[in-house]
Structure 1
Amino acid sequence: MTNENAAVYFLDRNVDEGRGDKPAFIEADGAQRTLTYGDLQTQAGCWAGALERHGVRREERVAMIVRDQIEFPVVFWGSLKAGAIPVPLNTLLSASVYEAILHDSRASILVVSAQLWETVKPAIDGNRYLRTVVVIGDHPEGTETYEQFIDGADCLDTCDASADELAFWLYSSGSTGTPKGVRHVHGSLQATADTFGRDVLGIREDDTVFSAAKMFFAYGLGNAMSFPMSVGATTVIFAGRPTPDGVQDVLTNYKPTIFCGVPTLFAAMVAATEAKGSAPEHALRLCTSAGEALPREIGERWERHWTAPIVDGVGSTEMLHIFLSNRPGDIVYGTSGTAVPGYEVKLVDEHDEDVPEGEVGELLVRGPSSAEGYWNRRHKSQSTFQGHWTRTGDKYERTPEGRYVYCGRTDDMFKVSGIWVSPFEVEQALIDHPAILEAAVVARGDEKDLIKPAAYVVLKEGQANLSVDDIKEFVKEKIGMWKYPRWVEVVDELPKTATGKIQRFKLREGC
């Protein structure tokens, strides 16, 4: 029987095919270490041996609150080699959320980057499931260092597993509330590499990839790990906060050929580039964007300055990566493109009937990478995973050309004078204003309790004197009288998840 453990395909195969000495991961900050495919295989095997030595059994959870650093892929693939379940967690959460997730997942091992320890420490008090806490870097009393944990451990081969066996969990980003544990199987990693990675990105062995999106969530996991490792490419990883200047330094100094970002970062980098007058020298051939729909103007301005096109698409934690996307040579900014080969999508109304072209419906998807379901959320699993189809919670419209245009989340859409209004459409119009950097739109009741759009905007530098009335008139002229925001509030920043998604529910709570 063939061993379908994902670590065989993504890690062991690269060494077997002669890429053992090739860099798999290069740190762009910190100690700036390099990890070859051969070193990764050896260290992952030792991690698997250390788990066995510590009594970790198959399917026990290994929680990871680990920055983008060399140890991340070692712990992830080493856990898969041992048959344990790695659970990468968002590194920007609060102690109370970590406490809830650690109890929910019942992880027996916790791996933490030392820089995050002070935040994580209160979350483990009283946890009856954790047996060992491993700290990467200086370790406090009561924990083990990463080096102590693996020192002297046997280097294990990859355990046998089927493609349908549970491999890892990811917790949803929490753009609409409490994160949920999403369970994925071994075969899903290769499924996304064989579809989006191969058929859309066209990723090659000679590519170098840099993902500003971190490896702890689905988009970054594919960008920085499964896609490059599927072809034996190299990934540049960056543990710090991806500021425009920091990202530009990586693009300049390490010359990646593929860059994976999110709309808010592309918008900030476009503004920074225009302030400097031009983009620096780079080697980019392609960029990707996900997390939220990329505004048309941002995509066009980026490509004008950086020359490398942005392939904008939509994915989800539940589907592991992007399933609806533009593709190189066939990009229409302002749309999410068409279904990625291997996936099917459809739009339905509130009665699950197909909606005609030009009308708004909820996006459903089916394909090879759908999750097994949520952990401990049976009702939510039943409402999201319906047979082969997965409900995305996104509202879309299909154009006569067969492309899909994002309209908003199902719980973000609202009607004004009986007509559906897409917050994203209003936000795109606002971003077209030369003084506005970012925008978010939610529904708010007026003095008669009638629903109207309310806008929150972040201004570009030097635009503090912008008139609110000017903004309203600008939107009226672009998209229509009934869609303009009745209220416009200027804010320093918008509430977002670590993946760059705007948390509109927090803005609604403030209305």
Structure 2
Amino acid sequence: MTYNAVSWLLDRNVDEGRGDKVVFDDTVSRITYGQLQQQTRRVGNMLRRLGVRREERVAMIMLDTVDFPIVFLGAIRAGVVPVPLNTLLTAEQYAYILGDCRARVLFVSEALLPVVKDIIARMPDLEHVVVSGKDAHGHNKLSDEIARESDVFATAPTHADEPAFWLYSSGSTGMPKGVRHLHSNLAATAETYAKQVLGIREDDVGLSAAKLFFAYGLGNALTFPMSVGASTVLNFERPTPAVMFALMNKYHPSIFFGVPTLFAAMLNDEAMKAQAAGNRLRVCTSAGEALPESVGNAWRARFGVDILDGVGSTELLHIFLSNAPGDIKYGSSGRPVPGYKVRLVNELGADVADGEVGELLVDAPSAGESYWNQRAKSRATFEGAWTRTGDKYTRDADGRYTFCGRADDMFKVSGIWVSPFEVESALITHPAVLEAAVVPEADPEGLLKPKAYVVLRPESSAAGLHEALKEHVKQKIGPWKYPRWIDVVDNLPKTATGKIQRFKLREHEH
């Protein structure tokens, strides 16, 4: 039986009478469901004219404008596989990924063209570069290419189990890996998390800080709204507190999808203290890394809405553990999303008891098929129905799960597991601390102990702070977990998606 994700996401909305409704507004341009249907058909014809066949890849280095869904959905409609890439990578990282996925066409935003201009000539599989913007700088211009085409196009008769698009993992531990996602995976995230946890509705207006190239952002800003005929505000700028507050005040979104570092920064942005978060806001979500309890409580006190903290991954496409409306415990990742099964296992693969630390395994309807050209890593991650997340968790007697850290970030002190995240969460409850990262460091006897890197609030002084912070952590979470060493730094190394790169801090020590 044939199934194309675009028929379900887009054509169904037009068939149900939403053709004139705005689906995307990027503050410069807006597009309706009907116009998007026409444009994606034209992209299908354009790809045929450029010689791209079904199952071949096209790469996207594109900002979050209306052109992103036009290209992404147009390729899927044609049975071509779009590969959206992180817009903050280096030229050499792009060269690696373009070579790895063998993209035939590169779609790139004009503002990002300078980053890749010097590598284009040496990509053997790349035949065309198509630029989204006013000036194509000698390449094909997307608007001109689309305008040449007919909007009559027969949607490719793909299969639900066929790869529809690839996403490259954020590469917090080395070069990114290409995760192959299927046509059915998009609907799987919408029918589970979006419908049964978020309760997304046709009258919702969404705003996502996470970008469309990121699994979390793709669900937030494209899959979820289109699954119910809702609308999305796209932000092509860097998601600073000032930018996000300005969009909230202009568009009054009902759902705001954020990440912990942004929520904390928005709460601490002095210039924005007087801002409202928009009078329609009914719920916020957080993912990317665990949301500290102090941030969740402060946000609710300030804006009157809860943040649904959850955890997802590129491999599983969106959130699989989450807090839910009416069932929120800040500091925990909540419970399994309906439709997902989870296990916590020890090093031998046996299930662990409540309260014990184990690695999280997920049986997910939205799991990727494999990593491209990475057989050993595919076999180690995708084990039959179960996907290994590499995250360490505990489960309490109520069935709630609490994040402890990445499997490779956890370490033992005096024979007891220490979660860097737990120590970091304790540190940031001190009024002087804005951000913190914790890594293991060997003491003179060669035993591992916590070492902290902290970023202070602008008005705070480091004078006399070290002992105060150590005592603060002891009181909060226990005497053996306190950081033995504390370095005050200007900023912490992070991935483009805001996750702290603790491995860089560990390498910095050696």
Normalised-by-shorter TM-score class: over 0.9
- State how far apart, in whole Å, the 2-side matches of 1:375 and 1:354 are: 30
TM-score of the aligned structures, taking structure 1 as reference length: 0.97
Describe the shift of the 1:334–1:398 C-alpha distance in structure 2 as closer, same or farther (beyond 3 A): same
1:106 aligns with 2:99: no
Asked if the contact 2:52/2:80 (under 8 Å) is kept, the reply is: yes
SS in 1 for 2:45: helix
- State how far apart, in whole Å, the 2-side matches of 1:373 and 1:173 are: 16
Shift of 1:450: 1.3
2:23 aligns with 24
Alignment of 1:251-290 (within 5 A): 251-272=248-269, 276=273, 279-290=276-287
Q: Please, which of 330, 352, 355 is the counterpart of residue 352 of structure 2?
A: 355
- State how far apart, in whole Å, the 2-side matches of 1:293 and 1:200 are: 18
- State how far apart, in whole Å, the 1-side matches of 2:217 and 2:287 are: 10
2:412 aligns with 415
Q: Please, which of 154, 157, 179 is the counterpart of residue 154 of structure 2?
A: 157
Alignment of 1:248-397 (within 5 A): 248-272=245-269, 276=273, 279-397=276-394
Q: Please, which of 182, 185, 190 is the counterpart of residue 185 of structure 1?
A: 182
SS in 1 for 2:17: coil
Asked if the contact 2:23/2:33 (under 8 Å) is kept, the reply is: yes
2:222 aligns with 225
Q: Deviations over 1:8-60 (max 9, x none)?
A: 000111111100000000113xxx21110001000010001000011100011
2:80 aligns with 84
1:498 aligns with 496
Shift of 1:176: 1.7
SS in 1 for 2:119: helix
SS in 2 for 1:323: strand
Asked if the contact 1:167/1:185 (under 8 Å) is kept, the reply is: yes
Describe the shift of the 1:496–1:510 C-alpha distance in structure 2 as closer, same or farther (beyond 3 A): same
- State how far apart, in whole Å, the 2-side matches of 1:350 and 1:143 are: 52
SS in 2 for 1:432: coil
1:52 aligns with 48
Asked if the contact 1:273/1:279 (under 8 Å) is kept, the reply is: no
- State how far apart, in whole Å, the 2-side matches of 1:280 and 1:326 are: 21
- State how far apart, in whole Å, the 2-side matches of 1:157 and 1:485 are: 61
2:466 aligns with 468
Shift of 1:121: 1.3
Alignment of 1:410-489 (within 5 A): 410-466=407-463, 467-489=465-487
Asked if the contact 1:278/1:305 (under 8 Å) is kept, the reply is: no
SS in 1 for 2:314: coil
Q: Please, which of 175, 197, 216 is the counterpart of residue 172 of structure 2?
A: 175
**CA RMSD, aligned part only?**
1.3
Q: Deviations over 1:122-176 (max 9, x none)?
A: 2323111000001112445541111232232232132111110110000001122
Shift of 1:468: 1.5
1:121 aligns with 117
- State how far apart, in whole Å, the 2-side matches of 1:490 and 1:105 are: 41
Deviates more, 1:253-262 or 1:460-469: 460-469
Describe the shift of the 1:456–1:140 C-alpha distance in structure 2 as closer, same or farther (beyond 3 A): same
Asked if the contact 1:53/1:153 (under 8 Å) is kept, the reply is: no
Q: Please, which of 392, 395, 399 is the counterpart of residue 398 of structure 1?
A: 395
- State how far apart, in whole Å, the 1-side matches of 2:144 and 2:250 are: 34
Q: Please, which of 219, 225, 237 is the counterpart of residue 240 of structure 1?
A: 237
1:74 aligns with 70
- State how far apart, in whole Å, the 1-side matches of 2:271 and 2:437 are: 23
Q: Deviations over 1:169-198 (max 9, x none)?
A: 000011222110000000000000000000
**AA of the residue aligned to 1:381:** S
2:212 aligns with 215
- State how far apart, in whole Å, the 2-side matches of 1:282 and 1:388 are: 43
**AA of the residue aligned to 1:102:** L
Q: Please, which of 104, 129, 144 is the counterpart of residue 133 of structure 1?
A: 129
**AA of the residue aligned to 2:172:** S
Deviates more, 1:122-131 or 1:267-276: 267-276
Asked if the contact 2:24/2:232 (under 8 Å) is kept, the reply is: yes
- State how far apart, in whole Å, the 2-side matches of 1:483 and 1:288 are: 30
- State how far apart, in whole Å, the 2-side matches of 1:315 and 1:221 are: 12
Shift of 1:427: 0.6
Unaligned runs of 5+ in 2: none
